[in-house]
């Protein structure tokens, strides 16, 4: 928040810029996305509560950042599940030969 008075500009942070937790914009976009909403839904919600809303450009930037993070997380989880399933199949003796895609022969 910027405060200007008598040729003096002072910046007051409403959240710690060094903090690694989710910022207010990211939290708002995450909440709206989790219920299947978009920018207009968020804008309407904020308006009803007399809260200034972020711009659509900022919303889209946050949405893209979250979507990318979800994709990376999903990929890591799938790779982990494949690795675990492979290990379990080998332990059970369900695999009696290696496939061409197995790079760890």
What's the CA gap between 42 and 34, in Å, rounded? 12
- Tell me if 93 sits within 8 A of 53, measured CB to CB: no
From first to last of the 105 residues of the chain, give the pLDDT tens digit: 555 566 666 666 666 667 677 888 999 999 999 999 999 999 999 999 999 999 999 999 999 999 998 888 888 899 988 888 888 888 888 877 666 555 555
Q: How far is CA 26 from the centre of its chain?
A: 8
Query: Helix, strand, or coil here: 14?
Result: coil
H helix count then E strand count, the chain: 3, 2
- pLDDT value at residue 104: 55
pTM higher than the cut 0.85: no
């Amino acid at each position: 928040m910027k405060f200007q008075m008598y040729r003096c500009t002072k910046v007051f942070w409403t959240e710690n810029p060094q903090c690694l937790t989710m910022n207010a914009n990211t939290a708002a976009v995450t909440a709206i996305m989790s219920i299947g909403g978009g920018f207009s839904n968020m804008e309407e919600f904020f308006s009803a509560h007399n809260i200034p809303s972020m711009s659509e450009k900022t919303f889209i930037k946050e949405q893209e950042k979250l979507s990318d993070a979800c994709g990376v997380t999903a990929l890591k989880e799938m790779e982990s599940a494949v690795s675990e399933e492979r290990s379990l199949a080998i332990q059970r003796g369900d695999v009696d030969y290696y496939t061409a895609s197995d790079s760890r022969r």
